Amino acid sequence: MDYKKTNASDTTITRDFTDLEKNTGNIYKSVAITAKRSNQIQKEIKEELNKKLEEFASYTDNLEEIFENREQIEISKFYERLPKPTLIALEELLEDKIYFRDPEEDEEIK
């Protein structure tokens, strides 16, 4: 998913509990689903950032060769300005973009 084009808020906003629990029927289940999705998003963003920063990595141990790279700083600042993974996951939950299933409910159906 392209997190750069998400319409999640950059800041925390007040949410209504009824909106959060409408998909799951339980606020705690909604929070757990959001937390798991947030961890997935964070991992994907971190991997993407590390790939981009590897291009600038210096594998020498000489401290004199370490210098500030303007492109590296700009890439880091861009990722810092992205909405937090929790806000992205919460927006996905509210827009019904997260697929989830409950193993306990699957067992009851059988």
State the angle between helix axes of 85-94 and 27-54 in degrees (0 to 180), rounded to the nearest 10.
130
Indicate the average pLDDT of the chain: 83
The pLDDT, as a whole number, for residue 15 is: 86
pTM: 0.79
Residue 66 within any structural domain of the chain: yes
Residue 54 within any structural domain of the chain: yes
pLDDT grade for 33, boundaries at 50, 70 and 90:
very high
Q: In the predicted model, what is the mean pLDDT of residues 4-15?
A: 80
Residue 53 lies in domain: 14-109
Structural domain count of the chain: 1
- Residues 33, 99 contacting (CB under 8 angstroms): no
In our burial notation (b when 16+ CB lie closer than 10 A, e otherwise), range 64-87 reads eeeeeeeeeeebeeeeeebbbbbb
∠ CA 86-54-61, nearest 5°, is: 125
pLDDT at 20 over 80: yes
39-71 confidence digits (pLDDT tens) = 999 999 999 999 988 887 766 655 544 556 778
